[in-house]
Chains A and B, each alone.
Chain A
Amino acid sequence: MSKIIIGPFNRVEGDLEVQLEIEAQKVTSARVNSTLFRGFESMLQGRPLGDALVYAPRICGICSVSQSVAAAQALSQIYGISPPENGQRAINLMLANENAADLLTHFYLFFMPDFARGIYKDRTWFSDSQKRFKAMQGVSSARAIEARSHWLKMMGTLAGHWPHTLAIQPGGCSRSLNDAEVMQMLLYAQKLRHFLENSLLHDKLENFLALENEADLQSWQQQHADSDLGLFIAIATDLSLHELGKSDALLMSYGSFPESNGQRLIPSGVYRNGEFHLLNPSHIQEDISHANYQGDIHSSPWHQAQMPLLDNPDAYSWCKAPRLKGEVAETGSLARQVMAKQPLILDLIQRYGSCVYSRILARTLELVKLTVQVESWLQQGFSETGHFFTEPGDIVHQRGVGLIEAARGSLGHWLEVKNNRIYSYQIIAPTTWNFSPRDQQNTPGALEKALENTPLYDGETDPVNVQHIVRSFDPCMVCTVH
């Protein structure tokens, strides 16, 4: 058996280290370490409530709006209010815009460049992949960056700027929007559609969304082999990415995008071995047996440890281990699209489980779906007489929880108030779930499990399969630890 430590990783947000035990060219065990601690939760203690909206987005520069939405939702429960219809739609648009921008960035800039690495130079697809995706050179990557900047112009209109807006408030949105502005935003949305249709798919978004299973997808690939996604599917088949990075964790979604009919576009729930269950948020606990904190080993987010402790011999990460009634959960696009019972993704999960291939396809599909959804929201527009903002009155509850879906998965903020000030603030981010360390039972987190049995190539120092698996989760270490 040999041991290797890999780090630093790039094309993941923040600093990440992975320790592997290897035997006969296979990973036998993995430990994942987030190496940076900042202490946001203690910064918020004792501050005025509204300051949560200044601090929360700055937890993470890539899902900053998601952090704001979670904070605003927790605050809205404290005040016992909810945003008016227009305000909620504006917030949904901001969240969808950010999620889509993240999914786009992940595919083109973080994930695909690994297939342009020298180790693949003998593969038939190599020169094509290199031309399109090579880091800081690829033609498709360059076009994706351009498409992303255009798409984010929607944020200028909705949110003042991105990242780090204060436009998302417990009572709604600080900016009212008129029809002319909606027309402008529709053009930004259509620009993204053009990019996706001309580069990612070489097909209409709607045609792609109509695929129902793996067989459909494979025949679609034959007809659109020269699109960016067509190339990915060819690579995935060649490298058997459906066998790589399997996690057996349950899939979890908090649900997202509340609509005026009281329904949410993405439902909340849990998926375990082919069955759907309701999610009970009071089953969420965090375990710090292998994390650098002092306090109770196991506790609910209302009583969580925040103070660092560097001399626990078992600890190897700043990430805590969240568990749902003791179970490991995986979260992200795949979990959401399974929960939404999206036919193609349901078929993939039933065939292959959660693996590199299904995670990436779920993300791509969600990117396409969100683009169409944003267009449709904009075509419906806002009510001309309705409001964007409801003024909060007095504090009516001492506790509020914001449970939302960031691009990378389920994000929760637990906020408790005393004497008009923030008494405690606890954050569990998507990657805290996915990249969790071991718990008291020594059960590995989702990525740790997904890395087990990974085959390595001869003489690799930074195994490329490990790179694929790590990035297939679209990890964000700055959120994870905060």
Chain B
Amino acid sequence: MNILWFQSGGCSGCTLSFLGLEEMDLIEWSRSMQLNWLWHPSLTEHSGSETQAMLDAVLKDEIKLDIFCLEGSVIMGPKGSGRFHMLAGTETPAKELIERLSEKADYVLAVGTCAAFGGITASPPNTVEATGLQYDQNFAGSLLPTNFKSRAGLPVINISGCPVHPGWVAETIGLIRFQKLKTEHLDPYNRPRFYADKLVHHGCSRNEYYEYKASAVKPSDLGCMMEHMGCVGTVAHADCNERPWNGNGSCTKGGYPCVDCTSPDFGHLNHSYQETPKIGNIPVGLPSDMPKAWFIALSTLAKSATPKRLKINAISERIEISPEIKRKKL
């Protein structure tokens, strides 16, 4: 399969994250997926005129394009001209090339939240008029129209994440390679369901603190970060606490809140990322699928029953009180 990876308004972080794939080094993985890299901004050999000739050949249908990946937002500005990102060595705005390549590909992948929805690059005031490839935040239709389908009949596949998890990319491409990726495997924002149907809260090591509303108040505390520190793991669609990052990590294991980096709104929060907005004492954003009254009732009850161990550990850097050892009577 011929694959072409292109970068526009982003930070290269998704490439660098992807390069960290742990199951197999990327060279061996590419071989086992039978991928032929036509161009990757960090990995392939040729530059300049050879690259331009290759792009021409793809656009003239002389080279088949199986997978087209875009990393980074599409830059539309100023005034729709795209001149804030001209492809080096050419007089062409990057957005024009992105649009034309998308039309040639069997599958189009938006890798990372910038490419999928606009992401941080589209953050206000968005001087550069950045947008996602087929979505502008949560509105369908941007550079590519709402009804765009790649040659294989799928919309742009939005592997959102800031950065993307290497496994999300590798598995999506694996599914494509074995022709197992169908429209019904994508969620309403066209993110692959295998990771977007999970919540970050699933498997978080702070779940016990959450149950008893034993909350962290500052970075380095062990408690749940939902109440005060802006954690939105209960509504964030991703498997970050089930599928480890870089060996054994995750945001919440690292001691900082999930900021919902896979969401179409990432980069558009109108309050501080590291504080939970509240009305009275009640956090504004409630867990998915939970009526407010229930949440309040449950939290009040939980708070009244919080064991001392959790209350103290929640606001400590290290475990201060160990769990009691229950001895079985023989």
Contacts and interface: CB of A to CB of B under 8 A. Distances in A.
Interface in A15-74: 15-17, 33, 35-39, 42-43, 48, 50-51, 53-55, 58-62, 64
B245 A43 contact: no
Interface stretch (B42-50, B179-187, B286-294): B42-50
B274 A50 contact: yes
A152 interface: yes
Nearest to A143: B25
Given A39-B128, A308-B78, A13 B12 contact: yes
A93 interface: no
B47 A164 contact: no
Contacts of B37: 136
B127 interface: yes
A391 interface: yes
B20 interface: yes
B250 to A, nearest CB: 6
Given A53-B274, A136-B44, A162 B256 contact: no
Contacts, number: 274
Contact of B9 (A38, A61, A138): A38
A188 B247 contact: yes
Contact of B22 (A7, A48, A149, A161): A149
Nearest to A169: B219
A184 B308 CA distance: 31
A162 B113 CA distance: 16
Contact of B47 (A6, A37, A176): A6
Indicate the member of A11, A149, A154 with the most B CB atoms within 10 Å: A149
A59 B11 CA distance: 6
Nearest to B249: A156
Interface stretch (A109-117, A207-215, A245-253, A411-419): A109-117
Given A137-B27, A161-B254, A7 B90 contact: yes
A61 B17 contact: yes
Contacts of B41: 8, 10-11, 13-15
A109 B43 contact: yes
Chief secondary structure at chain B's binding surface: loop
Contacts of A159: 246, 249, 254
B128 A37 contact: yes
A149 B21 contact: yes
A8 B89 contact: yes
A36 B123 contact: no
A113 to B, nearest CB: 6
A461 B248 contact: no
A173 B257 CA distance: 13
A107 to B, nearest CB: 14
Interface string B148-182: 00000000000000110000000000000000000
Interface residues of B, number: 82
A171 B256 CA distance: 13
B11 A148 contact: no
A62 B18 CA distance: 12
Contacts of B123: 43, 55
A149 B13 contact: no
Contacts of A36: 8-9, 75, 84-85, 94
B144 interface: no
Contacts of A58: 11, 13, 120, 162
B310 to A, nearest CB: 17
A378 interface: no
Given A42-B127, A134-B45, A60 B13 contact: yes
Interface in B86-132: 86-90, 94, 120-121, 123-128, 130
Interface string B244-281: 11111111111111010100000000011111000000
A61 B255 contact: no
A257 B302 CA distance: 44
B25 A142 contact: yes
B47 A389 contact: no
A8 B12 CA distance: 15
A476 B96 CA distance: 24
B48 A6 contact: yes
Contact of B87 (A7, A105, A134, A167): A7
Given A36-B9, A160-B245, A389-B220, A10 B17 contact: no
Nearest to B225: A174
A178 interface: yes
Contacts of A308: 78, 84, 127
A157 interface: yes
Interface in B213-249: 218-220, 244-249
Contacts of B163: 61, 161, 163-164
B88 A7 contact: yes
B117 to A, nearest CB: 14
B273 A42 contact: no
Contacts of A137: 27
A78 to B, nearest CB: 15
A265 interface: no
6 contacts: A8-B90, A149-B19, A149-B22, A175-B220, A461-B48, A478-B10
Interface of B: 7-17, 19-22, 25-28, 30, 37, 39-51, 75, 78, 83-90, 94, 120-121, 123-128, 130, 162-163, 218-220, 244-257, 259, 261, 271-275, 317-318
Given A36-B8, A145-B25, A175-B253, 6 more contacts: A35-B86, A36-B84, A148-B19, A166-B256, A167-B256, A175-B220
